[in-house]
Each structure stands twice: as C-alpha cells, then as structure tokens.
Amino acid sequence: MKKKIFPFSAIVGQDEMKLALILNVIDPSIGGVLIRGEKGTGKSTIVRSLADILPEIEVVEGCPFSCDPDSPAELCPECTKRLEEGPLPRARRKVRVVDLPLSATEDRIVGTLDIERALKTGEKHFEPGILAAAHRGILYVDEINLLDDHLVDLLLDAAAMGVNFVEREGISFSHPARFVLVGTMNPEEGELRPQLLDRFGLCVQVEGIKDPKERVLIIERRMAFEKDPENFSTQFAEENQKLASRILEAQKILNQIEIPEDVLYQVAKKLITLGVDGHRGDLTVIKTARAHAAFCGRETITEEDLKVAETLSLPHRLRRRPFEEVAF
Amino acid sequence: MSTKSRKIHYPFSAIVGQEEARLALILSAITREVRGVLLSGEKGTGKSTMARALAALLPPLESQKPAPFVNLPLNTTEDALIGYLDLEKTLYQRKPVFTPGLLVKAHQGVLYIDEVNLLPEHITSALLDAAESGHLVIEREGFSYELPAEFILIGSMNPEEGALSPQFLDRFGLAIEVSAEKDPELRAEIIKRRLLFEKDPLTFYAQFEKAEEDLKNRLKQAQALYPEVHLPSRLKALIAELTREALAQGHRADLILASAARAHAAYRGGKEANLEDIEAVAEMVLRHRRREKSPKASHNPREKPKKNTEQKQPPKPEQRKPEKQEKRPENLKSHKEEPSHNSEKEPSLKPPEEVKPHEGQDQVHEIGEVFKVRPLDVKIRYHFRGKSGKRTSSHGNRGRFVKAVNPKGRVKDIAVSATLKAAAPYQRLRGAGPGKGFIVKPQDLREKLRRAKTGHLLIFCVDASGSMAAQARMRETKGAIMSLLLSAYQKRDQVAMITFRGKEARLVLPPTNSVELAGRLLRDLPVGGSTPLSAALALLNKLLHQKTTREPEKPVSVFLITDGRGNVSLGEGKPQDEVKRLAQSLSHSFPQVSFVVIDTETGQVKLEMARELAGALKAQYFTPEALKADRLVAIAREILPKENAR
C-alpha cells in the first residue's frame, strides 16, 4: 500500500525552504539543506512531499546500493565484478527520500553482516544499511541536533568521503554513499556540531506563517487532504507535474550555464569581507546561483541568482563566536 | 565514457596557493624520517584534497598498483585499524585466518586522518606505535605477527574543536597552519578550477598531466638523492641552537629539522643542505613544539599550532605570575599570564571579529586565578578511576565494542570471533568435518561488551546579573568555574553553561566536550542587569529533561552559582515564590541529578536567599569561601563519589 503524501504544490508559503530543496534536487552537489525552525512549521511535511516531484535516475538493476551505470569509477564491489562480465543491466526509478530515525543503531546505518547466514553457510553476506539506501538520494534526519555523537561521526565520514566504509569485526566492505543531507532542527533544543553544520550547503530558517488568510488556507487544505487524499492529490497533480518537469529541464541545462569570471571574483571578494571560513562557502554560493539560474531557465548567472544564493548559503557560515546562535 | 575504473583525483599541481602546506607534504613524501604532516586550520581549505593529491604523486607499489591512500574514518574500531579474524576464510579453511587492518593497507602510501583531534584515544595510541616504528606488531586473538606499515601520516584538524593530545602532536614531524586564500583573484581561481574539475575530471586532469609527471619525477629524484645529502656540522650546531631557543622538548625536533632540511635540499637537487634549507623548514618543525619561556613551564606543550601566532607577543614580564606546575590547556595558561587588565584593554587581545559591543553598563571580568587545580584534579581522578568501568560500560548495543564476554540472557550482539574461538576446540568432538560446516553450540556464544561515550555532564548555571559585578566577585567566580572546567577537560566530561541576566536565561554553551570553548566563552561573559533566576531554572528544567531522556545513564551535576536574589519572574507571581516553586519541582523531577549551589552573596547584610534556594533544590550549599581551592576539593569529594555509586 502506498502511503499518501501531501502534494508539494499544495503547501502554502515557506517558499525559501521549498526553493532550497528544489535547488538541491537540481544539483545534489550543493550539499543539502539544514532547516531550522520551531515545531509544527511543516518542515517534515515539505521534505516528505518532495518525493512526488523528484526526477528519475538510472540505476544498475538489482543493485542494493543503486549504483550509477554511467560512472564506473563509483561502483560497489558487486557491480564492479558484474561490469567485467559485460554491460550492466539498467533500470529507472525515482530518487528516494530515506529517513534516518534518531533511534537508529550504528549497524542499521552503515549496514551489517548477516550473522545467521554466515554461520550456517559460511558465506559473508552484507546487509546494506540506511546509507546504502540513501545513495544518490536524499537522506532526511529529523531533529538532527539530537542525533547521538557516534552516529553523527558516521554521517560525517560518509558525507566527507562519499563512501561508506564498514570496517568492523569480521567485515570490511565499502560502497558509494553520496546523498543530499536534509536535516531539520529546533534551535531551542541545542545547536549542531560545527563540523556537521559546515557539511550543509544551504540553511533556511522557517517560521509559522503569520498571515491569517494563509493560515486558514493551510487548515482547509490539510482537512481536505485528510478527508480524501486521493482526490486532493489529483487536484494538484498537474501543478506537481509542471514543477517536476521544470526541475528536469533545469538539470539538463545546468552544465551549460555560463559563470562569468567577474562573478567568481565578486563572490570571492564578498566572502573574504564577510570572513567566511574556507572555500566551501564560495563554491556553494556559485553552485546555488547556477542551479537557481537553471531553475529560472537562464543561460547565465545574474545578480538575482547570486542574491538568492547568498541568502540561502551564508547564514550558517558567517563567522561567529563559538556556540553563538546562528545569525539571521 | 571510458571504463577506466580508477577515480580521478584533483591533481596536486592544480592546487592554488597553500605553498607552505604543499612544500611540507612534498618533504614528507621524500623521506619518512620527516614523520608526517599535521594540517591545522579552518574547514573547507582543501586539506583532504591536498593529502589525497599527494598519494597520487607517490611511486606505484611493486605490484604496480597505485600507492594506497587510506582515509581513516572517525568511527574506526581497533579491529579495523590493526586487523581482525576473517570470518569467511576462517569458516572455509577451518583455521583462523587473520586479515590485516588499515595500518597495513596504508603501507607505502598515505594514511590520512581527518579531524585527528576527535579520534578516540585507544585508536590514537595504536596508530602512534605503528607510525613511529614503521611496522605493526600484532598480538591479539591468538595471532602473533609483525607486518610492515610504513606510511606517510597526514592529519588534519580544526583547532576550534579542541586540542590534540601533546604526545600525538609531537609525533607529527611538521605542522602547518592552513587558512583560506585572502586574495579575491586567487580565490576566484580556486572556485573556477574546482568547477571545471567537477564538470569534467578527465579533461581537467589532462591539462595538468605534464605538470604532474614533472612533479612525480622530481619527487622520485629527490627520494633517490636524499640519503646522500650532507648536513655540514656548522648547520647541525645551528639546528641545536634553534631547537634550544624554541625550548622544544627532547631530541625529536632536532632530528626532524635535520631530516626536513636535507629533504628540502634534495628537492632542489642539492647534495649539501644550506642555510636556506633550514630557514625554509624551521617554522614547520618548531611551530607545534615551541614552548613559553618560564622556569617551570608545563611539561605538556599542549598549544595547538594556531595558538602560537597569538603567543608571539608574550605578556610583559612584570605582569607574569610565577607559573604553577599543572597540566592544563594552553588557553587557560595564557589567561593567567595576562592578569588584571581592564575591560577596555580586553578587545585588543582578541581577533577583531570576535569583539562584540557590550551593552550599557555591562562589564567583562577577567577570569580570576585558577587556583589549585591539582589537588582537586587528583581527588576526582582517584574517585573516578576505581569505578570508571562501571560508569561507562553497558550491554546495550550503543557505543564501541570493548571486549567479548559470556552473555547474560538472550544474546543480541554476537562477538563473532570470540564465539568461533570458543567453539573451535570442540569441532572434532562434535563431528565437524569437510562439508559439514562449523558447529557452534549455544554455550559457545559470546556477546559484545560495549562502552558508550557517556562520561559526566556538568551544567554550570551562572548568575551574570549586576549584583555579581560588585567587587571582584565575578572574577573569583570565573576562576572557580574554570577550575571545575579543567578537571572536566581532563576526564573528557561534557560541560554545558547557562547564564542569566537582564530579562532572560540563555544556554550559552550546549553540552560539549570542548572545554576550551567554554573557557573562551567564560572569559567574555558580560555582567549586568537584573536577575532572572526563574528563567534560568526553567531553562535548566528543559535541558535536564532533554539530556536525561536521551542519555538516562549519564550522570549529571548542576552547579548553580548565584546570590539567589531573583528579581524577575516569568509569570505574575512574586519572583522569589516562583524560584522556590521551580526549584522544588526540579529537585522532584530529577532525583538522579546532583545539585550544588555556590552562594556568591557578600557584604554586611545577608539575605541568605541562595541558602533557601539550596534547601528547595535539596542541593549542597557552599559559601564564597568554598570558592577557594582547598574547599573545592572538599566539594568534589562530597559530590563525586555519590554519583559514582549510582
């Protein structure tokens, strides 16, 4: 049975968060989104509803790690073996949103050895974990600031290397694990570790919507959805479809977008002035601007794209005293 | 697309800027006698990229495979690092088969550790032994091997996350401070190259192929030349002079400086090292080994490389107090050495971007003398050591695998190798043989004992209201907190800090292991305004609720440092009534938490409100005199064993 998902286009307001997510779908190398905000502002709903508008990707058929048949440098051991025997069978499926619950154990995240099978048959069989499922998709961590430190370490390792290394007793296994990390957090419950914060490409702050009319609309839509999800979804199907094809279009032209030299210079200069750590910020601003230009169907990066990119990618990178709250 | 299965890495010669770091990496590749490089600096400055690119420059192995690049994940286990029983082969071949771990895999290549300062200590020590000796001695699980493990150790760290343990720091031959490029043109070039590389790695690599080949050849020649490079004796004397001046400990600095200078000479093709060679490498070698001049300087050069630049202007001699022989992070030492300057002078000591305009009459007080940590420290350690095992080990499946034990109840987390080993002697007896598999009976099962990183959580709830500004009270208070922070640091406990002043209470320091950050925060803590004690208690309630739900086994102590004169209420009621109610509810909701009230009230007329607060909290109560070191020992003695017993 398919779980009913609230349609993305039916979500009222929260444009910044929606945009940040869309830009990440267009260019996953932007590096994910951190969504900061109070409870009940639709953070989770939006992330889950993203599933509807996600594009399809080509995967190696039957591969538990969703290897990309077009990038032979990044295959799991099994697919590497299969490739030697001949071309890899292909299949198409939608990009996935994978949940990482706070209560997840280390084994479930990185994957584990099937001990029963190993003892019975003497075969080493690797049971893939959450990181395997999230490869080339979106890894969603609700309340990421409450995640246990040793689990954060796992995430950091995978996010930094794009590979999940499983080195535990009796097993040594690695497979590609590149994912768009989407995390939500309520800053009242504690801040994020700086290394993890830095791994997020974009950061948005969400608030409850103040406009009474819009609030009423939210309630109405929610009620309509709960009453008859199917009918409700049909109403927005067309709009969802439109958005999905716009994303697909943007993905196609992304690599052709021109980045003028002076834009690079301008960004570099600005970030030096702001005192942003390292070079990761520069790259994120440019990539976000590029994705935004693609989303708008433009051929070159404009002022507007840069402005949007800076708003989304700088708030959590501005130099601040340790543990000072992220400035907005 | 080609079927070339090797992933293309960003070429070394395409790296923009970072001259010093690149030179250091090259030197470490010329000879292992240089003993690796520590790259310290901000996030996202290309540290990993450089290390990876270096591995690609190394000559291929005998098997013609490229030189390995091993990236040590933070969640590495000792098994993964050293080696483990290979389950598959063991089961097939019916005899234990050992698979060497990452250290051996890194042989003749690069071992890269990102965030080396966050690596667990037992991993660090195993790593150090191999790095130093160039081979790995394995004595575990009934195996006894000695395997070659010669690798170039490259570590990276962000000093904001806490310091590296001194013995590990010293093992790195060279230390480099990496920072982001400040010239916009170069910075733009960096982004441009990165984007080009990501778009089409093959074409990008082709552009730099010539440069890479040249560099590889030059490296190879330098490696061959190195053993012949001569170091004139007058330069040996200079090296000795340099290391003596830097007060570097032991002889490692001398040896590494000599090797690095010779490697530098070899790199430029010279057969004799000269003065320029020494000049080029001296700072890399001495940066993390330089110590302050002082009669009884701490024998722990704990300073991180980054600190050094700030310390190049030592405090004026007349301001210096005699140094105590104590183990403590460097930043704390520097506080003490810059005593008694007023708050206007304060900002000049910090980098400009850290200056925060203080509101109105707020004042920032220096940290008072950090007194007599040592006795306190020793006592706490004494108490902790005895029971530390009980405190942190658990049979849950959280945390790191410590050892295999006989299971109690249903087995959830099988320790495979231990189980197999237990079953092994009985195989013939049980009729095992070819084609019949390995026979494991329930009595063979062994379970993993795991140790979660729990430690202790100390929550400091500090009154920063105007009344604390009186006299030197805040200074003294800061000193007391610092002393407690220090012992927390040494035991790897977590600390958190709530401050309250004006209208609100703030969690200025969420639970963290970085005591250094707590110290910095404490130093800059402004004082002024009214006393929202109720708000602080409410916030404390929330924090405790959060922590005890998430980690119920973690012992928590709350130090409430205030005069108890709460004068801002949350609701309608009188502030003092509210405080009392909140305090009672806190003590009722969290019976497992130990509360301590340190009363900072002074003066002729005492209202003794803090004492009332302590009563409501069922807290232990101490007067200002308790802030003195000898009394702190007493506090520690009274509080800590009680927690241990749980």
ipTM of this predicted complex? Answer: 0.81
What string of H, E and C letters represents the secondary structure of A57-114? Answer: EEEECCCCCCCCCCCHHHCCHHHHHHHHHCCCCEEEEECCEEECCCCCCHHHHHCEEC
Our CA-based measurement puts residue A318 at a distance from the nearest CA of chain B, in whole angstroms, of 11
Q: What is the SS3 assignment for B345-389?
A: CHHHHCCHHHCCCCCCCCEECCCCCCCCHHHHHHHHHHHHHHHHH
User: Which residues of chain A neighbour B43 with C-beta distances below 8 Å?
Assistant: 194-195, 198, 277-278, 280
A15-19, B553-557, B631-635: which is most confident: A15-19
Scanning B109-168 for CB atoms below 8 A from A yields: 114-115, 118, 158, 160-161
- Helices B184-199 and A280-295: angle between axes, nearest 10 degrees: 60
Q: Percentage of residues in chain B with pLDDT exceeding 70?
A: 67
Q: A286 to chain B: nearest residue by CA? A: B191
Task: Compute, in degrees rounded to 10, the torsion defined by CA atoms A269, A272, A276, A281.
Answer: 30
Query: Residue B630's pLDDT band (boundaries 50, 70, 90)?
Result: low
Does the active-site annotation cover A298?
no
CB A97 within 8 A of CB A54: yes
A119 and chain B in contact, CB less than 8 A: yes
Q: How many CB atoms lie within 10 A of CB B555?
A: 20
User: If you average pLDDT over residues B566-576, what whole number do you get?
Assistant: 82
Q: Which strands form A202-206's sheet, in the order they lie side by side?
A: A97-99, A137-141, A179-185, A33-37, A202-206
More confident residue, B185 or B554: B185
Secondary structure tally for chain A: helices H, strands E: 13, 11
Predicted confidence (pLDDT) per residue in B401-444, tens digit: 666 777 776 676 777 777 777 776 667 677 766 666 677 777 77
pTM: 0.68
Characterize A128-155 residue by residue with b for buried, 16 or more Cβ atoms within 10 angstroms of its Cβ, and e for exposed.
bbbbbbbbbbbbbbbbbbbbbebbbbbb
Report d(CA B599, CA B591) in Å as an integer.
22
**Which tops the pLDDT comparison, B597 or B354?**
B597
- Total Cβ atoms within 10 A of residue A40: 9
Q: Provide CATH 1.10.8.80 ranges for chain A.
A: 254-325
The catalytically annotated residue of A280, A290, A319, A321 is A280
| Rounded Cα–Cα distance for residues A289 and B609 (Å) | 58
Supply the pLDDT for residue B368: 54
Give contacts of B 424-483 with A, CB under 8 A: 437-438, 440, 452-453
Q: Cβ contacts (< 8 Å) between A269 and chain B: which residues? A: 184, 187
Query: Where does the pLDDT of residue B80 fall: very low under 50, low under 70, confident under 90, or very high at 90 and above?
Result: confident
Q: CATH 3.40.50.300 spans which residues of chain A?
A: 31-54+94-208
pLDDT tens digits along A72-119: 878 888 888 888 888 889 999 889 999 998 878 777 888 877 666 666
pLDDT > 60? residue A146: yes
Min distance A157 CA to chain B CA atoms (Å): 6
For each of the domains in chain B, give its residue range(s) and CATH number, in order of start.
Answer: 12-212 (3.40.50.300), 229-290 (1.10.8.80), 394-452 (no CATH), 457-639 (3.40.50.410)
pLDDT surpasses 50 at B358: no
pLDDT reported for residue B196 = 92
Distances in whole angstroms, Cα of residue B598 to Cα of each of B455, B461, B497, B559: 23, 10, 15, 7
Pairs of residues, one from chain A and one from chain B, whose beta carbons lie less than 8 Å apart: 194
Amino acid at site B297: A
| Residues in CB range of B620: below 8 A, 6 or more apart | B594, B595, B596, B597, B614, B635, B638, B639
Give contacts of A124 with chain B, Cβ < 8 Å. 87-88
Residue A24: the pLDDT is 94
Residue-wise pLDDT for A286-317, tens only, equals 999 999 999 999 999 999 999 999 999 998 88
Which token pair is B173?
Answer: 């031959």
CATH of domain A31-54+94-208: 3.40.50.300
Catalytic residues of B, by residue number, are 252
User: pLDDT: is B619 or B474 the higher one?
Assistant: B619
Q: What is the pLDDT of residue B41?
A: 86
pLDDT at A257 over 80: yes
Rounded Cα–Cα distance for residues A43 and B5 (Å): 40
Query: CB-based contact (8 Å) between A171 and chain B?
Result: yes
Chain B, nearest residue to A151 by Cα: B75
Average pLDDT over residues A3-12: 86
Per-residue model confidence (pLDDT) at position B632: 54
Q: Are B583 and B617 in contact (CB under 8 A)?
A: yes
- Give backbone dihedrals phi and psi of A250, rounded to 5 degrees, phi first: -60, -40
Say if domain A254-325 classifies as CATH 3.20.190.10: no
Phi, psi of B224 (to 5 degrees): -70, -35
Q: What is the dihedral of CA B357, B361, B364, B368, to 10 degrees?
A: 180
The answer to whether the Cβ–Cβ distance between A319 and B353 falls below 8 Å is yes
Supply the pLDDT for residue A3. Answer: 62
End-to-end CA distance of chain A, in Å?
Answer: 42
Question: Which of the residue ranges A28-32, A156-160, B112-116, B381-385 would you say has the lowest mean pLDDT?
Answer: B381-385
State mean pLDDT over A223-236.
91
- Contact criterion met (CB < 8 Å) for A72 and B524: no
Q: Is the pLDDT of residue A268 over 60?
A: yes
φ/ψ of residue B138, rounded to 5: -110, 120
CA dihedral B2, B3, B6, B11 (to 10 degrees): 0
User: What is the nearest CA distance from B354 to chain A, expressed in angstroms?
Assistant: 6
B219: left (phi over 0), alpha (psi -120 to 50) or beta: alpha
* 3-state secondary structure labels for all residues of A4-65: CCCCHHHCCCCHHHHHHHHHHHHCHHHCCEEEEECCCCCHHHHHHHHHHHCCEEEEECCCCC
| Burial of B316 per CB tally in 10 Å (0-12, 13-18, 19+) | exposed
Residue B492 in this model has a pLDDT that exceeds 70: no
Least confident interval from B6-15, B93-102, B221-230, B231-240:
B93-102
- Record the tokens describing residue B434, joined without a space: 């070819």
- Tens of pLDDT, residue by residue over B275-287, are 999 999 999 999 9
pLDDT at B434: 62
Please check the confidence at residue B338 and state whether its pLDDT lies above 70.
no
Looking at the partner chain, which of B3, B44, B101 has a beta carbon nearest the beta carbon of A279? B44
Which pLDDT score is estimated for A153?
Answer: 79
Best of A323, A324, A325, A326 to disrupt the B interface (most B CBs within 10 Å) is A323
Q: Which segment, A41-45, B213-217, B456-460, B485-489, is predicted with the most confidence on average?
A: B213-217
pLDDT category, B293, cuts 50, 70, 90?
low
Q: Which residues of A touch B44 (CB under 8 A)?
A: 198, 277-281
Model confidence at B296: pLDDT above 50 = no
Q: Measure the CA–CA gap between B364 and B220, rounded to whole angstroms.
A: 57
What is the greatest pairwise CA distance in chain B? 90
Amino acid at the residue B483: S
Res. B384 pLDDT band, cuts 50 70 90: very low
Q: What is the mean pLDDT of chain B?
A: 74
Q: B252-267 vs B275-286: helix axis angle to the nearest 10?
A: 130
pLDDT in tens, A162-179: 888 876 655 677 888 999
Percentage of residues of chain A with pLDDT beyond 70: 90
Q: What are B123-152's pLDDT values in tens digits? A: 887 788 788 888 888 776 567 888 888 999
A87 reaches B (C-beta below 8 A): no
